[in-house]
Amino acid sequence: MQKNIERVFGVLLILLIVGCSPQPIVESPQVTNAPTAPTVPITTLTPTTIPPHPLAITVENGSSLKLQKTIGAGTVNDVAWSPQGDVIAVAQDFDISFYDSITLQVKEKIGFGGAEVVFSPDGLFLAIAKDKQIIFWDILKKTINQEITVDMARVDQVVYNSTGTSLAVLGDSRITEGDPPLVLELWDTKSWERVYTNREKLEANMAFSPDGETLAFISNADLLLIKSATGELQKIDLTWGNGSLVYINDDIMLKQYDHGQLTLMNLRTLENLNFINVEIGYHSG
């Protein structure tokens, strides 16, 4: 759905580089009465230890964060950081501004607006979605490089794969009250051809694998894995049901159920590896 985030002064930006120290995944006790499942090999799930950046936000320094400056004005539709971290793109209805991420000064502007913006993985292009149009802005040449029209009423989400060769677009099939059916399109950014379309009871949740070769999404309560280059179906899990998804690595996916349980799935075998019980609650203040 189109994001209309009313801001009085604009986007609040904290001049700290967001990061976190990766922690090894710790196996939790199985949920009572949960089916027995093989445990996850530690070597598979333990990420490479990387020292945190000196300016990273951590548990220790989180309480000391302070607002440094606000930028923008009026209604902000979307914000995107460049892959290099040196530029922030702020999309509004009638223009798009590029801010220096250190000084927070405007570097340049584009004379038209957009609802969704995302940088290509190499940082050379900015994809700008508005209604059913997606414009690809060449950052260096300061001109439009390509335009495509998607077969949906309104674009809600645009995602590049890690190599920048595929683009997944998720949007509303029609503009109406309530929650209209979603449409998923997969595009080849080399030929600018649509290679796949799905309209079958989609969930607003999709993700490319870290290597960029696979797109995962939920359709008709099933988990579908398709090739990013062609849209060819690779695997399907008919037992997925509802729940969000995120890749841990190319072979392991994390699924979150609404009732607070996480499941680790081996994507090669589609077997559940482990169940992790998560306490979900809400608090104020």
Instruction: Write out pLDDT tens, residues 32-46.
Output: 444 444 444 433 444
Please give the residue that has the higher pLDDT: either 249 or 64.
249
Least confident of 80-89, 203-212, 216-225, 266-275: 266-275
- Tokens read off for 220: 């008709």
The mean pLDDT of 84-103, rounded to a whole number, is 94
The mean pLDDT of 88-94, rounded to a whole number, is 94
pLDDT of residue 256: 80
pLDDT at 98 over 50: yes
Q: CA 244 to CA 222: how far, in whole Å?
A: 12
Least confident of 16-20, 82-86, 150-154, 178-182: 16-20
What's the whole-number average pLDDT of the chain?
Answer: 81
pLDDT at 22 over 90: no
Cβ–Cβ < 8 Å for 172, 183:
yes
Least confident of 44-48, 55-59, 107-111, 117-121: 44-48
pLDDT of residue 284: 41
| Placement of tokens 């009732």 in the chain | 259
pLDDT of residue 278: 64
- Tokens read off for 117: 């913006």
Least confident of 53-57, 152-156, 253-257: 53-57
Instruction: Give the single-character DSSP code of 63.
Output: G
pLDDT of residue 261: 78
Helix residue ranges, H only, the chain: 42-45
The mean pLDDT of 222-232, rounded to a whole number, is 96
- Tokens read off for 141: 């040449």
pLDDT of residue 62: 80
pLDDT at 8 over 80: no
pLDDT at 96 over 90: yes
Instruction: For residue 231, name the pLDDT band (cuts at 50, 70, 90).
Output: very high
pLDDT of residue 95: 94
98: CB partners within 8 A, 6+ apart: 87, 88, 89, 106, 107, 108, 109, 110
Is pTM beyond 0.95 here?
no
pLDDT at 223 over 60: yes
The number of beta carbons lying within 10 Å of the beta carbon of residue 94 is 10
Cβ–Cβ < 8 Å for 273, 267:
no
